[in-house]
Amino acid sequence: MKKYLSFFRLRFTMGLQYRAAALGGITTQFAWGFMEIMIFAAFYRADAGAFPMSFSATASYLWLQQAFLALFAVWMMENEIFDAIVNGDIAYEMCRPVSVYRMWFARSIATRLSRAVLRSFPILIVAAFLPHPYGLAAPASLKHFILFLITLVLGLLMTVSLCMLVYILAFFTISPAGLRLIFDSASDFFAGALIPLPFFPEKMQRIMELLPFASMQNVPLRIYGGSMSSYEMKRAVFLQVFWLTAITFAGNALCRLAQKRVTVQGG
Amino acid sequence: MRSIRLYLHYVSINIRCVMQYKTSFFLTAAGQFLVSFTAFLGVFFLFQRFSKVEGFTYSEVLLCFSVMLMEFSLAEMFARGFDQFSGMVRSGEFDRVLVRPQNEIIQVLGSKFELTRFGRMLQAVVMFIYGIIQSDIAWSFSKALTVIFMLIGGTAVFTALFLIYAAFCFFTLESLEFMNIFTDGAREFGKYPVGVYGEKMLLFATFIVPYALIQYYPLLYILGRRKELIFMFLPLLACWFLIPAILFWKFGVRHYKSSGS
């Protein structure tokens, strides 16, 4: 465990060095969030009755989504890992007396957290001061806020465990480009990154909520605004834990299989 | 004339190069198709819930979205070299470009021709046809011509944006993330007619970065909401945006200091 903690610490402090990049990211995400809010405001003006949750809850969802983008954006994968698989550096990683799976897992969490730490607070603070329905509202209650924090962590772990599957599959396909394109667009769609899941037709939404993708940003961001009933919240947390266990287990098994038949590409 | 021949030669080299890896090409193109297909699904499902947005119906939004996507894909196909320009500056490759007795814009343009964007283009065309079938526009010659003008103007505007994006690299050596909001962001949010975003955004998109000229105003003409002929030619007017972009680029080239690698 200590080994992985130091991997984590190393990556985390390294990630904190990129402050200029973070500033650029903050501007982009702020502008992005602003445009998203304007689209939903236009739909709200068109037909307020068709809105599945209050406008304020939608705005909070969108701001939190931008603020915590680094935690949940599946397309922000570690390019170094793919490079290592393609150019053969993977051999060094496998020589180390550590589990490749856990090492990469710790490293991915560290990168995502360091980015989020740098970027989230400025966005959250500015969004909190925007006029009422357009800004980030206070959480529905203290209970909701605590649950939000817990599911945020579970959601991050879930995102990383899904990305781990893609890294490991790259062992088999070598060129990760096509795989990544398909995975990125499918998970953006099913996770509620494109449009929040409640905006889908009811039948579709019911199925989508059961998929592992819904256990990422969908749960914490909706709990924060209080748009889930207590039964739905319980079920969502249960599903998060279930999928997290299942997918890390599958990832570990697949990783062992991949390591047995890995071919090192040159070097 | 010579520079056009040179550019076409660059393009043919690029295509032959890509065709060496046929499977990878088709997979990436299919991936591109899929990426914009989910964006389409997003619009589709929102309109299952809402019938209109600011007076625009589903099929009208689709027309707007598909034309915008075509404009963007065309620009990305041709001007991809500018998108990846930061690498060229950092590696010192641009020094080599400068010593050749040819226009440097043509050379950077020719450095990359992204044929895989064909996948996205195809998706846009399919969506465009679907949008036309769904809507009840009385097509005429002038309206069809307007679509072509939109494609020309739009490709010019996005190319100009890529050019500005690249010119920033002369000063920062790195590509600036916030510029993405003007390129990828415009593609994402240009799904809906600019008018949806309110008066101020429309003013910005008319006089500063002319998105509205290649999207909103000609769309009004095609939909028959505005009859004035000027709306048909506005997209061509948007090409003016290339001028400040090229001036900025020239300014950047004059200030270029080699990264030394």
How close B197 gets to chain A, by Cα (Å)? 6
Q: Which of A153-167, B21-35, B211-225 has the lowest mean pLDDT?
A: B21-35
The pLDDT-based confidence of A36 (bands split at 50, 70, 90) is very high
pTM: 0.90
Q: What are the φ/ψ torsions at residue B57 (nearest 5 degrees)?
A: -85, 175
Mutate to test the interface with A, among B21, B26, B27 (most CBs of A within 10 A): B27
* Average of per-residue pLDDT across A98-104: 91
Nearest-angstrom CA–CA distance, A153 and A237: 11
**What is the DSSP code (8-state) at residue B191?**
T
CB A259 within 8 A of CB A100: yes
Q: Is the pLDDT of residue A226 over 80?
A: yes
What is each CA distance from B140 to B134, B147, B169, B220, in whole angstroms? 17, 11, 45, 14
Q: Which residues of B touch A27 (CB under 8 A)?
A: 177-178, 181
C-beta atoms of A178 and B30 within 8 A: yes
How confident is the prediction for chain A on average, in pLDDT? 90
| pLDDT at residue number A266 | 57
Q: At what angle do helices A100-128 and A19-46 cross, to 10 degrees?
A: 60
Q: Is the pLDDT of residue A209 over 70?
A: yes
* Average of per-residue pLDDT across B96-102: 87
Nearest CA in chain B to A190: B38
Decide which of A93 and A187 is more confident: A187
| pLDDT at residue number A80 | 87
Instruction: State the pairing for strand pair B56-57/B52-53.
Output: antiparallel
Mutate to test the interface with A, among B177, B182, B202, B209 (most CBs of A within 10 A): B177
Nearest-angstrom CA–CA distance, B21 and B26: 9
Residues 6+ apart with CB under 8 A from A231: none
Chain B (178-197) residues lying within 8 Å, Cβ to Cβ, of chain A:
178, 180-181, 185, 188-189, 192, 196-197
**What is the DSSP code (8-state) at residue A267?**
-
Closest to B63 measured CA to CA, from B238, B227, B226, B193 = B193
Q: Which residues of A touch B180 (CB under 8 A)?
A: 28
Dig out the tokens for A30 from the structure. 């702020």
CB atoms within 10 A of CB B232: 20
* Average of per-residue pLDDT across A43-56: 91
* Average of per-residue pLDDT across A10-18: 87
| pLDDT at residue number B26 | 83
| pLDDT at residue number B193 | 94
Q: Which of A193-207, B27-41, B215-229 has the lowest mean pLDDT?
A: B27-41
How close A198 gets to chain B, by Cα (Å)? 10
C-beta atoms of A201 and B48 within 8 A: yes
Q: Count of CB contacts below 8 A, A vs B?
A: 95
What's the length of chain B?
A: 261
The residue type at B250: K
Dig out the tokens for A137 from the structure. 């509202």
Q: Is the pLDDT of residue A52 over 60?
A: yes
What is each CA distance from A241 to A223, A245, A247, A248, in whole angstroms? 16, 6, 10, 11
Q: Is the pLDDT of residue B93 over 90?
A: no
| pLDDT at residue number A83 | 85
**What is the DSSP code (8-state) at residue A139?**
P
C-beta atoms of B28 and A201 within 8 A: no
Q: Which residues of B touch A170 (CB under 8 A)?
A: none
Closest to B31 measured CA to CA, from A168, A78, A177, A187 = A177
| pLDDT at residue number A208 | 94
CB A133 within 8 A of CB A48: no
Of B31, B35, B197, the CB nearest to A38: B197
**Strand, coil or helix: A23:** helix
Q: Is the pLDDT of residue B17 over 90?
A: no
C-beta atoms of A47 and B50 within 8 A: yes
| pLDDT at residue number A14 | 87
**Segment A62-72, tens digit of pLDDT:** 999 999 999 99
| pLDDT at residue number A267 | 47
CA A93 to chain centre: 25
Nearest-angstrom CA–CA distance, A256 and A5: 22
CB A63 within 8 A of CB A127: yes
Chain B (26-65) residues lying within 8 Å, Cβ to Cβ, of chain A:
27-28, 30-32, 34-35, 37-39, 41-42, 45-46, 48-54
Nearest-angstrom CA–CA distance, A84 and B155: 37
Q: Which residues of B touch A21 (CB under 8 A)?
A: 177
Dig out the tokens for A237 from the structure. 């947390």
Q: Which residues of A touch B (CB under 8 A)?
A: 21, 24-25, 27-28, 31-32, 35, 38-39, 42-43, 45-47, 50, 52, 175, 177-178, 181-182, 184-186, 188-189, 194-195, 199-201, 204
Of A24, A46, A182, the CB nearest to B176: A24
Q: Which residues of A touch B38 (CB under 8 A)?
A: 185-186, 188-189, 194
Dig out the tokens for B137 from the structure. 């526009």
Mutate to test the interface with B, among A27, A76, A185, A208 (most CBs of B within 10 A): A185
**Burial readout A145-159 (b: 16 or more C-beta within 10 A, e: otherwise):** eebbeebbebbbbbb
**Segment B232-252, tens digit of pLDDT:** 999 999 999 999 999 999 999
Highest mean pLDDT among A40-44, B36-40, B104-108, B116-120: A40-44
| pLDDT at residue number B260 | 65
CB B151 within 8 A of CB B77: no
Closest to A250 measured CA to CA, from A157, A160, A185, A162 = A162
Which ranges in B173-229 belong to alpha helices (H)?
Answer: 180-189, 199-207, 211-214, 216-222
Number of H helices, E strands in chain A: 12, 0
The residue type at B39: A
**Segment A116-137, tens digit of pLDDT:** 999 999 999 999 999 988 999 9
* Average of per-residue pLDDT across B145-168: 94
ipTM field = 0.87
How close B40 gets to chain A, by Cα (Å)? 10
How confident is the prediction for chain B on average, in pLDDT? 89
Q: Which residues of B touch A24 (CB under 8 A)?
A: 176-178
Of B38, B39, B46, the CB nearest to A199: B46
